[in-house]
Amino acid sequence: MFHKMTVGMVALGLVGALAAGCAGNVGKGEGEGCGSDQDCNNQLFCTPVTGRSGDFCCPAPLVYPSGQFASSQTNCQPTSK
């Protein structure tokens, strides 16, 4: 009986660890290249950035009303090129 209880506890621990791992942020971080919003972590959006090639995971809005960028990541800031 002790063996069955130990196996059950280990199995329960593994299921819990897997569930906790799935609950975390999944996807690319801020400033990383992307193909769709689903590629990005929570609260980031796959968006084209003026002057940069490709789309990047960036917060929205890209620019605050004050004119300050919402992100300090270089890939989330437009360039003049």
Q: Is 16 a domain residue?
A: yes
Residue 50 sits in which domain range?
2-76
Q: Is 52 a domain residue?
A: yes
Look at strands 33-34 and 45-48 and give their pairing. Answer: unpaired
Q: Is 57 a domain residue?
A: yes
- As a whole number of angstroms, the distance between CA 58 and CA 36 comes to 12
Q: Is 60 a domain residue?
A: yes
pLDDT in tens, 70-79: 888 999 988 8
Q: Is 49 a domain residue?
A: yes
Confidence of residue 17 (pLDDT cuts 50, 70, 90): very low
Place of tokens 């995971």: 57
Q: Is 31 a domain residue?
A: yes
Q: Is 70 a domain residue?
A: yes
Domain count, the chain: 1
Q: Is 81 a domain residue?
A: no
pLDDT in tens, 27-57: 999 999 999 999 999 999 999 999 999 999 9
The pTM (predicted TM-score) of the whole model is 0.62
